Amino acid sequence: MRTELSEVAGHTARVVTVGIAGAPAGRGPVTWGQWAIRRAMLDTEPDDHGTNVKVLVPVEPAVPAGRAAEAVRGLLTVYDALRTRVHVDGDGAMHQELDGGGTFGVHLFDADDTEAATALADAVERRWRAVRFAYDREWPVRAALVCVDGKAVRAVLVLAHVATDAMGLTLLHRALTELLRGADPAALRAASRGHQPLAEAGFQASEKGRKRDATARRHWVESLRDAPERLFARRPGADPRFRQAVLASPSLPGALRTLDEHWRISSSAILLAAASAVVARQSRHDRAVFQVMVSNRFQPALRDAVSTVTLEGLFTLDAGLEPGAGPAAFQALARRAAQAAMKTYYHAYYDKSALLADLRGLDERRGRPTDRTCWYNDLRDMITEARSVDRREHAGVRPEKSVIEWQTLGRQSETSVAWHVYSSRHFMPVSLTVDTGLIDEPAAEAMLTGFEALIVDAAAATETAETGRAAEAAEPRAGSAAGAGAPGRGRAARA
C-alpha cells in the first residue's frame, strides 16, 4: 500500500481493498511499445514520474461508493495491461508479467459538495502523478473515488505510461463510465477487439509481424540517409534545460476548420505543415525531421487495445518557405505534408530496439549522426486539456487574443523540440517544449506565434477570396433580366 497517496490537500482517504482471482495470467516478451516507453522512462529517471498519465471521469449520476469500487475492480479484469508488470533484467532485457490475481486498493476521499469534489479530484490527480511507480512490483494504475454523502461523484485514474498510450486512456474512460452505469466486465472484455499485451507480443513475433517490422525499419533508414546532422546549435556554455510554452489561441480552431473545408486537406496535415515550416525557419535547414507519435489504431487488432501501441513514425519534409511566401505556398506545403504523413503512418509499427541498431549502423556508414530530436504529437482526439491551461479551462475564460504560458520541466530524453496539440472547450492549446540551450524563450515564443500566423493568415486569405468569388457570382450579368437595358456589372461587362 502506497501510504504517501492517502493524504491529499488536507483530506485523508479510506482505502477499500478489492480482490482479483482467476483472471488471465502469463509471462512473456514485452511488446514493441512497452519496450519503447520503458526505455524512454529509464532515460528520464528520476524524473520519470513526468510520464504518468491520467483519466478523470465524472460519475453521473452519482453511485454508492461500494458499487463504484466494484466498477474499478471490473475495469482491472477488462484490460490485462492494468495488471501487467514490466521487468528490466540486469542485462537490459525486458519481459512482462501478467498477474491473474491479487488485491488492489481503491482510495475513497470525501468532499462537501460536487464543486469541492471536482477540486479535490484535480488535487488527487496532480499529487499522484508526481509519485513514481514501482513498475516491476506494483500494478501500473492507481484509483481514487471522490464521494459526496457516501456516493462517488468523481473517479480518478493515474497510470504509468508503460500501461497505455493516449488512445488507451480514451478507451479506459469509456469503459469505466460504462461499468459505473452497471455494465458487465466480462461482456466488455468479450466485446473488445483489441489485442491484450501478451497477445500483441505474440503477433509481433509471428512471420507477419516480423515482415511488417522489417518494412517499417527500412523506411526509416532510407528516409534518413540525407537527413541533417544537427538541426539546432547549442549556445556556448549552455546546459540542457527544458521549458514548455503553451499557446492558447482562440483563433486557431476556426481557422483550421476553414482550411480543412476549403483546401480539402486534413487538419492534421495542415498542423504538421505549419510545425515543419516553423522548425525549418528556426533551424535554417529546409528539411524538417520529426518523430511523429502514431496511434497505430488503423490496424483492426489494435483498434480497441489498451496498451502502448503508439510508436514514433518518421516524418520528413522539405519545408522551407521563402520570406514573404503567401497562403498559396503554405497550401502547397500542406498537400505535400499530407502525402508524407501517409508514409509516416504506415511505417510506424516496428521493433524499436532493432531500429535503434539499424540507425547506429546508418550513422556509422554516414560518418555522422542524424538529428532525431524533434517530436510531434497531435492529441486532439484523445486528451481534452493541456496541463498548463487547466485553470483557464475550468474557469471558463475565453481569451480575446492569444496568450502564452510557461512552465519548467524535468529532464527530457533526446529532445530539442517537442510539439503537442490538444483540444479544449475554448481554444486549441499548442505546447512547445524546448531545450533552452538550443532555443531560448523568445525564439520559442516566436515559433508558436509563427505557427499560429501561418494557419490564421491562410484562413483569412481563403475566406477573403471565397467572399470575393461569392460576390462576383451574385452580381447580375450583362443582358440578364435584372440588368436589362443597364450597363452590365458582371465579369462580361468588365471584360
N residues, the chain: 495
Residue 490 falls inside a structural domain: no
- Cell numbers of 160, please? 504509468
pLDDT digits (tens, 9 = 90+) for 169-211: 999 999 999 999 999 999 999 998 889 999 999 999 999 999 9
In b/e form, how buried is each residue of 89-110, taking b as 16+ CB within 10 angstroms? eeeeebbbebbeeeebbbbbbb
CA distance 378 to 291: 12
Percentage of the chain beyond pLDDT 70 is 90
Range with lowest mean pLDDT among 274-278, 308-312, 335-339, 390-394 = 390-394
Q: Read off the pLDDT of residues 55-113 as tens digits, 9 standing for 90 and up.
A: 999 999 999 999 999 999 999 999 999 999 999 998 889 999 999 999 999 999 999 99
Is a pLDDT exceeding 50 seen at residue 393? yes
What is the domain-level CATH number for residue 142? 3.30.559.10
Query: Across residues 206-224, what is the average pLDDT?
Result: 97
Whether residue 251 sits in one domain with residue 172: no
Split at pLDDT 50, 70, 90, the class of 396 is: low
Look at residue 473 and tell me if it is in a domain.
no
Range 387-396 average pLDDT: 54
Judged by phi (left if over 0) then psi (alpha if -120 to 50, else beta), residue 173 lies in alpha
478 against 454, higher pLDDT = 454
Residues 176, 247, single domain; the answer is no
What's the rounded mean pLDDT across residues 363-372?
Answer: 92
Tell me which of 22-36, 115-129, 240-254, 386-400 is least confident: 386-400
CA separation, residue 391 to residues 57, 69, 261, 405, 429 (Å) = 18, 29, 32, 11, 13
Query: Based on the domain organization, do 143 and 283 belong to the same domain?
Result: no
Residue 114 has pLDDT above 60, yes or no: yes
pLDDT, mean of residues 358-364 = 95
Same domain, 9 and 129: yes
In this structure, the answer to whether residues 283 and 176 fall within a common structural domain is no
pLDDT surpasses 90 at 322: no
Pair 109, 236 in one domain: no
Residue 487 domain flag: no
In this structure, the answer to whether residues 150 and 266 fall within a common structural domain is: no
CB atoms within 10 A of CB 465: 12
Domain co-membership, 181 together with 275: no
403: β partners: 248
More confident residue, 248 or 187: 187
Note whether 323 and 361 are same-domain residues: yes
| 290 shares its domain with 184 | no
**Widest CA span in the chain:** 93
Band of the pLDDT at 386, cuts 50, 70, 90?
Answer: very low
Q: Is the pLDDT of residue 428 over 90?
A: no
Q: Quick one: pLDDT at residue 256? A: 94
Q: How crowded is the C-beta side of 279, counted as CA atoms within 13 Å?
A: 32
In terms of domains, do 220 and 113 share one? no
Provide the CATH number for the domain around residue 235. 3.30.559.30
Check residue 90 and give its pLDDT.
Answer: 85
Please give the backbone phi and psi of residue 67, each rounded to the nearest 5 degrees, phi first: -65, -35
CA–CA separation, 226 and 92 (whole Å): 31
Average pLDDT, the chain: 90
* Cα→Cα distances 217→52, 212, 213, 396, 414, Å: 28, 9, 6, 45, 20
Integer Cα distance of 103 and 390 in angstroms: 33
Cell numbers representing residue 191 in the block:
466485446
User: What is the mean predicted confidence (pLDDT) over 43-59?
Assistant: 91
Q: Residue 423's domain spans which residues?
A: 212-468
| Cα-Cα end-to-end distance for the chain | 83
Is residue 345 a part of any domain in this protein?
yes
CA distance 449 to 460: 16
**Comparison of pLDDT for 317 and 491, the residue scoring more:** 317
Cell match 515550416: residue? Answer: 277
352 within some domain: yes
Question: Which cell is 131 given?
Answer: 509519485
480 found inside a domain: no
Q: Is residue 475 part of a domain?
A: no
C-alpha cell at position 19: 480482490
Given a cut of 80, whether residue 167 has pLDDT beyond it is yes
Q: pTM value?
A: 0.85
- Rounded CA gap, 412 and 409, in Å? 8
Read off the amino acid at residue 394.
H
Tell me if 198 is assigned to some domain.
no
Asked if 406 and 247 count as a contact pair (C-beta separation under 8 A), the reply is no
Average the pLDDT over each of 105-114, 227-236, 315-324, 470-479 and give the range with the smallest value.
470-479
Query: Residue 29 to residues 101, 107, 203: CA-CA distances in angstroms?
Result: 20, 32, 11
Among 23-27, 289-293, 388-392, where is mean pLDDT lowest? 388-392
- Band the pLDDT of 237: cuts 50, 70, 90: confident
Give the DSSP H or E segment for 339: helix 327-346
Q: How many domains does the chain have?
A: 2
DSSP-H helix ranges across 30-87: 32-44, 65-78
Query: Quick one: 187 and 323 in the same domain?
Result: no
